[in-house]
Chains A and B, each alone.
Chain A
Amino acid sequence: MEILSTILYIFLGIGVFFNCLGSVGLLRFPDVYTRLHAATKATTFGSIFTSLAVIVYGFCRWNISGDSKFVVLALHTIVALVCLIITNPTGAHAIARAAHRSGVMPKQAVIDELKEAKLK
Protein backbone atom coordinates (compact mmCIF):
# COMPACT_ATOMS: atom_id res chain seq x y z
CA MET A 1 0.00 0.00 0.00
CA GLU A 2 2.88 2.30 0.82
CA ILE A 3 4.57 1.42 -2.48
CA LEU A 4 1.33 2.02 -4.37
CA SER A 5 0.88 5.55 -3.06
CA THR A 6 4.57 6.32 -3.76
CA ILE A 7 4.16 5.18 -7.38
CA LEU A 8 0.97 7.23 -7.71
CA TYR A 9 2.69 10.33 -6.32
CA ILE A 10 5.59 9.93 -8.76
CA PHE A 11 3.36 9.43 -11.81
CA LEU A 12 1.01 12.28 -10.92
CA GLY A 13 3.96 14.56 -10.16
CA ILE A 14 5.59 13.88 -13.54
CA GLY A 15 2.27 14.33 -15.34
CA VAL A 16 1.34 17.60 -13.65
CA PHE A 17 4.88 18.97 -14.13
CA PHE A 18 4.87 18.32 -17.87
CA ASN A 19 1.35 19.72 -18.29
CA CYS A 20 2.59 22.85 -16.49
CA LEU A 21 5.56 23.07 -18.88
CA GLY A 22 3.20 22.78 -21.85
CA SER A 23 0.92 25.60 -20.81
CA VAL A 24 3.81 27.86 -19.75
CA GLY A 25 5.51 27.20 -23.11
CA LEU A 26 2.30 28.27 -24.81
CA LEU A 27 2.66 31.65 -23.12
CA ARG A 28 6.42 32.10 -23.49
CA PHE A 29 7.31 31.10 -27.05
CA PRO A 30 7.35 33.67 -29.89
CA ASP A 31 5.34 32.18 -32.77
CA VAL A 32 2.78 29.52 -33.69
CA TYR A 33 5.14 26.69 -34.58
CA THR A 34 7.24 26.84 -31.42
CA ARG A 35 4.07 27.12 -29.32
CA LEU A 36 2.67 24.07 -31.07
CA HIS A 37 5.95 22.24 -30.51
CA ALA A 38 5.87 23.00 -26.78
CA ALA A 39 2.18 22.56 -26.08
CA THR A 40 1.42 19.39 -28.02
CA LYS A 41 4.37 17.27 -26.97
CA ALA A 42 4.49 18.34 -23.33
CA THR A 43 0.76 17.99 -22.68
CA THR A 44 0.61 14.62 -24.45
CA PHE A 45 3.48 13.31 -22.32
CA GLY A 46 1.93 14.69 -19.14
CA SER A 47 -1.48 13.22 -19.94
CA ILE A 48 0.16 9.82 -20.54
CA PHE A 49 1.61 9.91 -17.03
CA THR A 50 -1.56 11.10 -15.24
CA SER A 51 -3.55 8.39 -17.04
CA LEU A 52 -0.88 5.83 -16.16
CA ALA A 53 -1.42 6.71 -12.50
CA VAL A 54 -5.15 6.01 -12.89
CA ILE A 55 -4.42 2.68 -14.63
CA VAL A 56 -2.04 1.53 -11.87
CA TYR A 57 -4.57 2.65 -9.24
CA GLY A 58 -7.41 0.74 -10.91
CA PHE A 59 -5.46 -2.50 -11.26
CA CYS A 60 -4.18 -2.33 -7.67
CA ARG A 61 -7.65 -1.68 -6.22
CA TRP A 62 -8.97 -4.56 -8.32
CA ASN A 63 -6.21 -6.80 -6.98
CA ILE A 64 -7.00 -5.81 -3.37
CA SER A 65 -10.79 -5.75 -3.32
CA GLY A 66 -11.76 -7.93 -6.30
CA ASP A 67 -14.42 -5.41 -7.37
CA SER A 68 -14.84 -5.53 -11.16
CA LYS A 69 -15.62 -1.78 -11.26
CA PHE A 70 -11.93 -0.99 -10.89
CA VAL A 71 -10.71 -3.19 -13.74
CA VAL A 72 -13.36 -1.57 -15.98
CA LEU A 73 -12.01 1.83 -14.87
CA ALA A 74 -8.45 0.83 -15.78
CA LEU A 75 -9.37 -0.66 -19.17
CA HIS A 76 -11.47 2.35 -20.18
CA THR A 77 -8.62 4.62 -19.15
CA ILE A 78 -6.34 2.62 -21.47
CA VAL A 79 -8.82 3.17 -24.33
CA ALA A 80 -8.96 6.92 -23.61
CA LEU A 81 -5.16 7.06 -23.48
CA VAL A 82 -4.85 5.31 -26.86
CA CYS A 83 -7.36 7.78 -28.38
CA LEU A 84 -5.36 10.69 -26.95
CA ILE A 85 -1.99 9.35 -28.18
CA ILE A 86 -3.27 8.73 -31.72
CA THR A 87 -5.31 11.90 -32.21
CA ASN A 88 -3.07 14.52 -30.59
CA PRO A 89 -0.04 14.53 -32.99
CA THR A 90 -2.37 14.25 -35.98
CA GLY A 91 -4.28 17.33 -34.90
CA ALA A 92 -1.02 19.20 -34.35
CA HIS A 93 0.13 18.26 -37.85
CA ALA A 94 -3.14 19.55 -39.32
CA ILE A 95 -2.84 22.84 -37.40
CA ALA A 96 0.78 23.39 -38.50
CA ARG A 97 -0.01 22.68 -42.16
CA ALA A 98 -3.04 24.96 -42.06
CA ALA A 99 -0.98 27.73 -40.41
CA HIS A 100 1.72 27.52 -43.09
CA ARG A 101 -0.78 27.48 -45.95
CA SER A 102 -2.73 30.42 -44.54
CA GLY A 103 0.44 32.52 -44.67
CA VAL A 104 1.65 32.62 -41.05
CA MET A 105 5.45 32.49 -41.21
CA PRO A 106 7.83 31.54 -38.41
CA LYS A 107 9.17 34.61 -36.66
CA GLN A 108 12.94 34.28 -37.00
CA ALA A 109 12.95 31.91 -39.96
CA VAL A 110 16.33 31.35 -41.63
CA ILE A 111 15.15 29.25 -44.56
CA ASP A 112 11.69 28.10 -45.65
CA GLU A 113 12.18 24.89 -47.58
CA LEU A 114 8.47 24.14 -47.84
CA LYS A 115 7.89 27.34 -49.83
CA GLU A 116 10.86 26.61 -52.11
CA ALA A 117 9.54 23.12 -52.74
CA LYS A 118 6.17 24.57 -53.73
CA LEU A 119 7.69 27.04 -56.21
CA LYS A 120 9.35 24.32 -58.27
Chain B
Amino acid sequence: MSGFFNIFIIPGGLLLIFMLLSLIRLILGPTVPDRIVALDTINTLVVAGMILVGAAYEEVIYIDVAIVYALLSYIGTLYVAKYLEGGSKK
Protein backbone atom coordinates (compact mmCIF):
# COMPACT_ATOMS: atom_id res chain seq x y z
CA MET B 1 0.00 0.00 0.00
CA SER B 2 2.92 2.36 -0.46
CA GLY B 3 1.16 3.94 -3.47
CA PHE B 4 -1.53 5.39 -1.22
CA PHE B 5 1.13 6.89 1.01
CA ASN B 6 2.44 8.92 -1.91
CA ILE B 7 -1.07 10.05 -2.87
CA PHE B 8 -1.58 11.91 0.41
CA ILE B 9 1.99 13.10 1.01
CA ILE B 10 2.33 15.18 -2.17
CA PRO B 11 -0.80 17.35 -1.63
CA GLY B 12 0.42 17.91 1.94
CA GLY B 13 3.69 19.30 0.60
CA LEU B 14 1.78 21.52 -1.84
CA LEU B 15 -0.33 22.89 1.02
CA LEU B 16 2.96 23.74 2.77
CA ILE B 17 3.95 25.84 -0.25
CA PHE B 18 0.60 27.68 -0.12
CA MET B 19 1.15 28.34 3.58
CA LEU B 20 4.47 29.99 2.68
CA LEU B 21 2.68 32.13 0.03
CA SER B 22 0.20 33.27 2.69
CA LEU B 23 3.12 33.97 5.03
CA ILE B 24 4.34 36.60 2.53
CA ARG B 25 1.03 38.47 3.00
CA LEU B 26 1.36 38.01 6.77
CA ILE B 27 4.78 39.68 6.71
CA LEU B 28 4.13 42.60 4.33
CA GLY B 29 0.42 43.20 4.87
CA PRO B 30 -0.08 46.98 5.10
CA THR B 31 -2.84 46.95 7.74
CA VAL B 32 -3.61 44.80 10.76
CA PRO B 33 -6.76 43.11 9.30
CA ASP B 34 -4.67 41.97 6.31
CA ARG B 35 -2.42 40.10 8.70
CA ILE B 36 -5.40 38.54 10.48
CA VAL B 37 -6.82 37.35 7.15
CA ALA B 38 -3.47 35.79 6.24
CA LEU B 39 -3.28 34.05 9.63
CA ASP B 40 -6.83 32.70 9.21
CA THR B 41 -5.92 31.31 5.79
CA ILE B 42 -2.80 29.66 7.22
CA ASN B 43 -4.91 28.08 9.98
CA THR B 44 -7.34 26.57 7.46
CA LEU B 45 -4.46 25.21 5.40
CA VAL B 46 -2.81 23.74 8.52
CA VAL B 47 -6.01 21.88 9.42
CA ALA B 48 -6.34 20.49 5.88
CA GLY B 49 -2.66 19.48 5.92
CA MET B 50 -3.00 17.75 9.30
CA ILE B 51 -5.90 15.68 7.95
CA LEU B 52 -3.84 14.70 4.89
CA VAL B 53 -0.80 13.75 6.99
CA GLY B 54 -2.99 11.73 9.35
CA ALA B 55 -4.35 9.79 6.37
CA ALA B 56 -0.85 9.33 4.94
CA TYR B 57 0.56 7.85 8.16
CA GLU B 58 -2.79 6.10 8.99
CA GLU B 59 -2.86 7.60 12.47
CA VAL B 60 -6.24 8.66 13.89
CA ILE B 61 -4.68 10.80 16.63
CA TYR B 62 -3.47 13.34 14.04
CA ILE B 63 -7.07 13.91 12.94
CA ASP B 64 -8.07 14.54 16.58
CA VAL B 65 -5.31 17.12 16.82
CA ALA B 66 -6.71 18.73 13.66
CA ILE B 67 -10.19 19.02 15.27
CA VAL B 68 -8.77 20.70 18.37
CA TYR B 69 -6.57 22.99 16.25
CA ALA B 70 -9.57 24.09 14.14
CA LEU B 71 -11.61 25.06 17.21
CA LEU B 72 -8.72 26.80 19.01
CA SER B 73 -7.66 28.79 15.94
CA TYR B 74 -11.28 29.91 15.53
CA ILE B 75 -11.30 31.17 19.12
CA GLY B 76 -7.99 32.96 18.52
CA THR B 77 -9.35 34.68 15.40
CA LEU B 78 -12.48 35.81 17.24
CA TYR B 79 -10.39 37.14 20.12
CA VAL B 80 -8.11 39.21 17.90
CA ALA B 81 -11.10 40.51 15.91
CA LYS B 82 -12.85 41.56 19.07
CA TYR B 83 -9.72 43.33 20.28
CA LEU B 84 -9.41 45.16 16.96
CA GLU B 85 -13.05 46.22 17.06
CA GLY B 86 -12.51 48.40 20.12
CA GLY B 87 -12.92 47.86 23.82
CA SER B 88 -16.13 49.67 24.78
CA LYS B 89 -18.86 47.13 24.02
CA LYS B 90 -22.34 47.88 25.24
Contacts and interface: CB of A to CB of B under 8 A. Distances in A.
A73 B71 CA distance: 19
Binding site secondary structure of chain B: helix
Interface string A44-65: 1011001101100110000000
Given A23-B18, A91-B77, A104-B31, A50 B67 contact: no
Interface residues of B, number: 46
A92 B37 CA distance: 8
Contacts of B24: 27
B67 A80 contact: yes
A97 interface: yes
A98 B81 contact: yes
A101 B85 contact: yes
Given A26-B21, A91-B77, A98-B84, A73 B58 contact: yes
Contact size range, A: 35 or more
A90 to B, nearest CB: 7
Contact of A95 (B40, B60, B66, B86): B40
A26 B66 contact: no
A102 B48 contact: no
24 contacts: A12-B7, A12-B8, A16-B14, A19-B18, A23-B19, A23-B22, A23-B41, A26-B25, A26-B41, A39-B38, A40-B37, A50-B11, A50-B52, A53-B8, A58-B55, A73-B54, A73-B58, A76-B60, A79-B67, A84-B70, A87-B70, A95-B81, A98-B82, A102-B33
Which 3 A-B residue pairings sit nearest by Cβ, starting from the closest? A99-B33, A87-B74, A98-B81
Interface of A: 5, 8-9, 12, 15-16, 19-20, 22-24, 26-27, 32, 35-36, 39-40, 43-44, 46-47, 50-51, 53-54, 57-58, 69-70, 72-73, 76-77, 79-80, 83-84, 87-88, 90-92, 94-95, 97-99, 101-102, 104
